[in-house]
Amino acid sequence: MIPLDPTPNLTEQVYARILEAITDRTLLPGQRITQNELAERLGVSRQPVSHALHQLYRQGLLADSGRRGFEVTQLDPERIRQLYEVRSALDGLAARLAAQRAKIDVTGRTRLEAALAAGRSADGTTPLARLITFDVDFHRAIYRLAGNPAIEETIAPQWPHMRRSMATVLAELDYRDSAWSEHETIAGHILSGNAPGAERAALAHALGAGRQTEERLKASDRAA
C-alpha cells in the first residue's frame, strides 16, 4: 500500500486501495484498522480515509471494532454460496444474450476476446490482485456484450464480496487453470453464436465456482 497522489477523486482511490488490500489479504479477516494508521500508510489526510472506511462498512466488508476503529469481516461460506446462486442465473442470461448479439457487436466481441487473452497470459508469477482483475474483466465483457445494462447494474454491488471469495481459490494453480479453460468454453460458445451452449456453460461455471469457494472457506474455518 504505497502513498497516493492527491486528486479530486481521492476518496475513490483510497476506497479502491483498501478494497484491494482486503481482497488480496494484505488486510486479513479479523484485522483491526484505524483511520490514522491508514492515512499515514497511504500518505493522505484522514477525511478521504474516513469516507472510504464508512463506504466499506456499509457494504459489509468492515465491521465496527470500537474506539473509532474497524476490522475486516470474515467471509461467510453460506452467504458466498447464495451470491453465486444468484450470479449463476445472471451469468447464464448474460451469456445467452451475448451469443445472440456476438455477430453484430464487433466492439463487444473484441472486448471479450481481449479479456480472454489477458486471462490466458497469466502465469505463476502474476499477482493475486491481477488474477482477480482478469477474472472480473472477462465476466464484465460478457455483461456488456449482452446489451442489457441491468445485468451488470444488478451484480455490481456484489463484486467486492465476490472478489474476496475469488482470492480463496484463484491462488490455487489447479483451479486457476480450470477456471480459464471454462472461460474459454463460454467465450467459444458466445463468439460462435451458440446461445444455449453459452448459457449452460456460464451457469455451470458460476455454480461450480461458488461450490468450490464455499468448500474452501469451510475447510479454512475447520483448520482454524
| Interval 54-90: pLDDT, tens | 999 999 999 998 776 899 999 889 999 999 999 999 9
Tell me which architecture the domain covering 10-72 has in CATH: Orthogonal Bundle (1.10)
What is the residue whose three cell numbers read 448479439?
101
User: What is the reported pLDDT for 65?
Assistant: 86
More confident residue, 20 or 111: 111
For residue 92, pLDDT beyond 70? yes
Which tens digit of pLDDT belongs to each residue from 26-41? Answer: 898 899 998 999 999 9
C-alpha closest to that of 156 among 90, 203, 205: 90
Q: Whole-angstrom Cα distance, residue 121 to residue 133? A: 13
Which tens digit of pLDDT belongs to each residue from 182-215? Answer: 999 999 999 999 999 999 999 999 999 999 888 8
Q: What is the rounded average pLDDT of the residues 10-38? A: 90
Q: Can you give the pTM of this predicted structure?
A: 0.87
Q: Whole-angstrom Cα distance, residue 41 to residue 117? A: 35
CATH topology for the 77-223 domain? Four Helix Bundle (Hemerythrin (Met), subunit A) (1.20.120)
The residues of the chain that CATH labels 1.20.120.530 are: 77-223
The residues of the chain that CATH labels 1.10.10.10 are: 10-72
